[in-house]
Amino acid sequence: MRREHKNRKSVGAARHPGSGQRHRKLALRTSFLTLSLFLTLSAAVGATSPPPDYNYPIADPLKATVAGAPGETALDRIPVLDRYFQAMLFPDRSLPPRLRRLRGLPFGLAAQSDPAPLIFIIAGTGSGHDAGGMKRLRNIFYRAGFHVVSLGSPFTRRFAVSASASSIPGIAADDARDLYRAMKMIREIIEEREVPVTDYVLTGYSLGGFNAAFIARLDEVEGVFGFRRVLLMNPPVNLMESSERFDDFIQRNLAGRADRFLEQLMEKMSAYFKDKGRVAVDDKFLYEIETISPLTSGELEGLIGIVFRLSLADVLFASDMMNGGGHVLRPGTVLRVGDSTTPFFRACLRWTFGDYAREVVLPFWRKRHPGADMAHLRSHTDLAVIADFLRRSDHIGLVHNADDIILKPGDIAFLTRIFGDRATIYPNGGHLGNMLYEPNIDHMLRFFQAEENDL
């Protein structure tokens, strides 16, 4: 469950515990996986090779995505003085009663006492600033001497309400502008607190890595931060193509039998719920369920698809309320505190990522680009649209996995053509399963601690 924070004018502050939970994005294994692995391994010419003794121990990409890295929980024990705040980006925005408690955008700040570089970390799809992976990355960079600002994903209910200008997340350039606006306000907050910042660096994982690429392009124009280093961790190449894979995940495993699937799954999860009570359905939940009662491949894929569908439903519900209804709410519907949202949320769960793109994002896109079709929208949710910038930006690096299951055949080849020796392609690790593996951590720190000409 996400914490809600009290407002203090434009900023609210409180202590944030330093405990960590694993947060990694989960994705599907497609019938193209073997072909994809062959193509991506053979295409990685020019990319920086991982250490010759690299031995991340999980060969199966789906299991790697769920299980994570050996020893990862040790990162929870790094002492960090973390505080959290709220940035009021739209203090006068009219909010439906049901959403008024989401007015502020929360972020975490772990500040050093001495002058230091500041790193912004952006979370992946559906994750807040306090997700498990975010906490562990914060701990790593704080221990290495960085000030750390943790930001949630723009594809969350909170961001749609408090920080998105349109309340329709999912357009690459718009999400970058919204995040950049938030980061500028956060910089002002940090300056007011007299945190001694020497320079700025930026990273993000999964969707957060994709966002970081577009933010870096925007900063080249506006020059507010002048990021010394930017590292993209396992980003999608085309945002819509990767999200549609989650639709396929559910279609393949749950079509026509979702109710029975959930009943059977709940039987397996009964021991977990008995011990834990009400819990957040996230990646830590998935990992612990697998530990208690191992799931079949189909069950695991179906559950992962449902988790991502829940993230989509959360965003769709908030976006529809913020924009006057018309999709899952009748136009003009006002939900007040205490009103049941269950019927509307169930309606949201029937929407796919493709539905959201066609029915919500595309009509908004056409206001700016009359006559635009899905192909036009799709082309603008792709790293290819900023490929020239990425190709010539020596301060931007990439880490990815040859078996990352959110990518299609040819994506790793595209990335290595763009980044050249600024790309490090690991042979295995699934989608972010090895993000907090010790050699990966060492690489991250070397990248950000390098001098200007050391890449």
Q: Are residues 312 and 359 in the same domain?
A: yes
* Residue 232 in domain: yes
Q: Are residues 247 and 235 in the same domain?
A: no
Q: Are residues 114 and 215 in the same domain?
A: yes
Q: Are residues 61 and 197 in the same domain?
A: yes
Q: Quote the tokens at residue 9.
A: 């004018």
Residue with tokens 């003009």, as numbered in its chain: 332
* Residue 8 in domain: no
What's the CATH number where 157 sits? 3.40.50.1820
Q: Are residues 360 and 281 in the same domain?
A: yes
Q: Are residues 259 and 235 in the same domain?
A: no
* Residue 278 in domain: yes
Domain extent at residue 315: 243-376
Q: Compute the distance between CA of residue 161 and CA of residue 158 in angstroms, rounded to an integer.
A: 5
Q: Compute the distance between CA of residue 161 and CA of residue 175 in angstroms, rounded to an integer.
A: 13
Q: What percent of the chain has pLDDT over 90?
A: 58
Sites in the chain below the pLDDT cut of 50: 1-45, 272-282, 453
Q: Compute the distance between CA of residue 169 and CA of residue 187 in angstroms, rounded to an integer.
A: 23
* Residue 286 in domain: yes
**Predicted local distance difference test score (pLDDT) of residue 65:** 80
* Residue 1 in domain: no
Q: Compute the distance between CA of residue 249 and CA of residue 230 in angstroms, rounded to an integer.
A: 31
Question: Could you please report the per-residue DSSP string of 199-242?
Answer: EEEEEEETHHHHHHHHHHHHHHHH-SS--SEEEEES--SBHHHH
**Predicted local distance difference test score (pLDDT) of residue 287:** 54
Asked whether 399 and 231 are in contact (CB, 8 A), the reply is yes
Residues in the chain: 455
Q: Are residues 196 and 274 in the same domain?
A: no
Last residue of a domain, one of 376, 408, 429: 376
Q: Quote the tokens at residue 179.
A: 């995040």
**Predicted local distance difference test score (pLDDT) of residue 403:** 94
Last residue of a domain, one of 376, 399, 430: 376
Q: Are residues 281 and 218 in the same domain?
A: no
Query: Total structural domains in the chain?
Result: 2
Residue 423, helix vs strand vs coil = strand
**Predicted local distance difference test score (pLDDT) of residue 178:** 98
* Residue 48 in domain: yes
* Residue 4 in domain: no
Pairing relationship of beta strands 82-87 and 105-110 according to DSSP bridges: antiparallel
Q: Are residues 247 and 282 in the same domain?
A: yes
Q: Are residues 429 and 343 in the same domain?
A: no
* Residue 2 in domain: no
Q: Are residues 163 and 253 in the same domain?
A: no
DSSP H helices, 293-420, are 297-322, 342-349, 353-356, 362-368, 374-379, 387-392, 411-419
**Predicted local distance difference test score (pLDDT) of residue 286:** 53
Q: Are residues 96 and 138 in the same domain?
A: yes
Last residue of a domain, one of 318, 341, 376: 376
**Predicted local distance difference test score (pLDDT) of residue 356:** 96
Report the interhelical angle of 239-254 vs 258-276 (nearest 10°). 100
Q: Tell whether pTM > 0.75.
A: yes
The DSSP call for residue 67 is H
Q: Quote the tokens at residue 117.
A: 């570089």
